[in-house]
């Protein structure tokens, strides 16, 4: 039966076209042609989940107490593991009952926060380039996105002074993310102090995505919004288990911060989902309790790949500054070549998949993002095997 009498909701129509679609198609074709693809396109960690976490999950799976619906607000045990981790990591005190909420991955929480707080027409400040959930969530909710264009010459930091007064006055929420996916930029502590002052002055809710809390190198320590005086009063911060602990497939993360905002998100989620499988919360709790030596190992893996790739690119005459954090490189395309064309050209000529910068918003044009998700011996393989047209 042809359903031409029904059309999707306006909110679905508001979603921009998916830049990865063409790339996926070409990837499939390259594979059919026998090209040995090295996929550095996704932000999908290639490592295994740490063994103690897997074992904790297996044990928890055997316990029938975990087989029913989990508590809506997450298990008390995981929530207190989150707040203990926060205390240890940032010296920030949080109330496990009202200031921490487990999520089905941070992407889920980011999207639902938009539905919980954005009315059609509300003005929302979102940087470009940015992690897509930061602008898709507000778009789905019908919000009006005011783009904060980030620039290389400003170290990809949000230029708060450039936000027009009338825009700042109307804005309801500001999304931001340092260390940043895709730009790899980090923000100094003073930037966090300034953004908190800005948000308080204009009564704007801050939504900070700290997905790369632990993936930082050369002694750099990413800042939590909640460490900044006043940060917790005006904002929330999203965390994921996906990157640090190689748990992307498990779908678990959490949000911490202002209790009123977390309550709103919890109320919405109570009507949409039942929260995270309790056995996975046991696993995540175990991950948060892993010794620092695990974190050092993970950082070392990405640092080695970063240095290897930067050196290889330098040998090709391509100067990429050392990134202080994340699991990516953000690399300018050759002058005059568009992101999509360049990514397709690299794919066809070498079998290496990179993500065109415009997938992260128009301001990502002119760059590609390379994920550090393959071992150096794979990254250093001779491109001679690759060929097409
Ligand atoms: C990977 C990533 C996420 C997604 O995390 P999940 O918990 O797996 O949903 C969120 N934000 C940023 C910036 C990311 O890079």
Fold entry, domain 51-288: 3.40.640
Residue 28 and residue 368 in contact, taking contact as beta carbons nearer than 8 Å: no
- 389 falls in which pLDDT band (50, 70, 90)? very low
Give the full edge-to-edge strand order of the sheet including 367-371: 328-332, 367-371, 355-356
Find the mean pLDDT for residues 10-30.
78
CB atoms within 10 A of CB 193: 15
pLDDT of residue 385 exceeding 60, the answer is: no
Cα(95) to ligand 1 centroid in Å equals 24
Q: Which atom of ligand 1 is nearest to the CA of 248?
A: 8
Please list the residue range(s) of the chain that carry CATH number 3.40.640.10.
51-288
Q: Whose CA is nearest to atom 15 of ligand 1?
A: 181
Mean pLDDT for the chain overall: 94
* pLDDT for the residue numbered 32: 87
DSSP-derived secondary structure letter, 72: T
Q: Which two tokens stand for residue 311?
A: 């050196």
For residue 107 and ligand 1, the question of a CB distance below 6 A is answered with: yes
Q: What angle do CA 165, 168, 170 make, to 5 degrees?
A: 110
Cα(210) to ligand 1 centroid in Å equals 9
Find the mean pLDDT for residues 359-364.
95
* pLDDT for the residue numbered 18: 64
Cα(133) to ligand 1 centroid in Å equals 9
- 381 falls in which pLDDT band (50, 70, 90)? low
Distance (Å, rounded) from C-alpha 223 to C-alpha 63?
38
For residue 131 and ligand 1, the question of a CB distance below 6 A is answered with: yes
Cα(319) to ligand 1 centroid in Å equals 28
Please list the residue range(s) of the chain that carry CATH number 3.90.1150.10.
10-48+293-388
State whether the Cα torsion 333-338-343-344 is positive or negative.
negative
Distance of CA 95 to the CA centre of its chain: 25
Find the mean pLDDT for residues 318-325.
94
Q: Which of 104, 106, 128 to mutate to test the pocket of ligand 1 (most atoms within 8 A of CB)?
A: 106
Find the mean pLDDT for residues 15-35.
78
Find the mean pLDDT for residues 302-306.
97
**271-297: per-residue pLDDT in tens?**
999 999 999 999 999 999 999 999 999
**185-239: per-residue pLDDT in tens?**
999 999 999 999 999 999 999 999 999 999 999 999 999 999 999 999 999 999 9
Q: Which atom of ligand 1 is nearest to the CA of 103?
A: 7
* pLDDT for the residue numbered 70: 96
Fold entry, domain 10-48+293-388: 3.90.1150
Distance (Å, rounded) from C-alpha 154 to C-alpha 180?
14
Instruction: Select from 235, 225, 214, 230 the least CA-distant residue to 50.
Output: 214
Residue 205 and residue 237 in contact, taking contact as beta carbons nearer than 8 Å: no
For residue 106 and ligand 1, the question of a CB distance below 6 A is answered with: yes
For the chain, give percent helix, strand, coil, nearest 5: 45, 15, 40
Cα(8) to ligand 1 centroid in Å equals 27
* pLDDT for the residue numbered 29: 84
Find the mean pLDDT for residues 30-49.
90
State whether the Cα torsion 338-339-344-346 is positive or negative.
positive
**82-107: per-residue pLDDT in tens?**
999 999 999 999 999 999 999 999 99
Residue 366 and residue 339 in contact, taking contact as beta carbons nearer than 8 Å: yes
Share of the chain above pLDDT 70, in %: 96
pTM, rounded to two decimals: 0.95
Cα(213) to ligand 1 centroid in Å equals 11
- 386 falls in which pLDDT band (50, 70, 90)? very low
* pLDDT for the residue numbered 19: 65
- 8 falls in which pLDDT band (50, 70, 90)? confident
* pLDDT for the residue numbered 195: 98
Q: Which atom of ligand 1 is nearest to the CA of 106?
A: 7
* pLDDT for the residue numbered 58: 98
**240-252: per-residue pLDDT in tens?**
999 999 999 999 9
Share of the chain above pLDDT 90, in %: 86
* pLDDT for the residue numbered 11: 86
Cα(124) to ligand 1 centroid in Å equals 20
Cα(287) to ligand 1 centroid in Å equals 17
For residue 242 and ligand 1, the question of a CB distance below 6 A is answered with: yes
* pLDDT for the residue numbered 83: 98
């Amino acid at each position: 039966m042809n359903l031409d009498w029904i059309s999707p909701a306006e909110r679905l129509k508001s979603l921009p076209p998916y830049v990865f679609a063409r790339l996926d198609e070409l990837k499939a074709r390259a594979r059919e042609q026998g090209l040995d693809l090295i996929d550095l396109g996704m932000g999908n960690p290639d490592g295994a989940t740490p063994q103690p976490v897997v074992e904790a999950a297996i044990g928890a799976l055997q316990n029938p107490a975990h087989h029913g619906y989990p508590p809506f607000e997450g298990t008390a045990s995981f929530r207190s593991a989150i707040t203990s981790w926060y205390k240890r990591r940032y010296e920030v005190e949080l109330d496990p009952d009202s200031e921490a909420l487990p999520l089905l991955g941070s992407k889920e929480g980011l999207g639902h926060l938009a539905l919980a707080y954005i009315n059609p027409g509300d003005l929302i400040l979102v940087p470009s380039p940015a992690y897509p959930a930061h602008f898709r969530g507000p778009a789905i909710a019908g919000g009006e996105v005011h783009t904060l264009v980030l620039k290389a010459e400003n170290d990809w930091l949000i230029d708060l002074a450039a936000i027009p007064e009338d825009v700042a006055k109307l804005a309801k929420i500001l999304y931001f993310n340092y260390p940043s996916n895709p730009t790899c930029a980090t923000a100094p502590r003073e930037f966090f102090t300034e953004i908190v002052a800005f948000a308080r002055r204009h009564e704007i809710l801050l939504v900070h995505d700290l997905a790369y809390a632990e993936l930082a190198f050369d002694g750099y320590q990413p800042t939590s919004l909640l460490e900044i005086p006043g940060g917790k009063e005006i904002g929330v911060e999203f965390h994921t288990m996906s990157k640090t602990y190689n748990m992307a497939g498990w779908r678990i993360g959490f949000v911490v911060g202002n209790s009123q905002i977390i309550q709103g998100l919890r109320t919405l989620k109570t009507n949409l989902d039942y929260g995270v499988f309790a056995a996975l919360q046991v696993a995540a709790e175990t991950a948060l309790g892993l010794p620092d030596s695990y974190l050092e190992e993970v950082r070392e893996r990405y640092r080695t790949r970063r240095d290897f790739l930067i050196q290889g690119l330098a040998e090709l005459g391509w100067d990429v500054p050392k990134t202080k954090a994340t699991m990516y490189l953000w690399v300018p395309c050759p002058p005059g070549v568009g992101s999509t064309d360049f990514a397709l050209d690299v794919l066809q000529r070498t079998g290496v998949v990179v993500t065109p910068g415009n997938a992260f918003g128009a301001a990502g044009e002119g760059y590609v993002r390379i994920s550090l998700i393959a071992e150096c011996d794979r990254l250093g393989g001779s491109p001679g095997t690759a060929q097409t047209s």
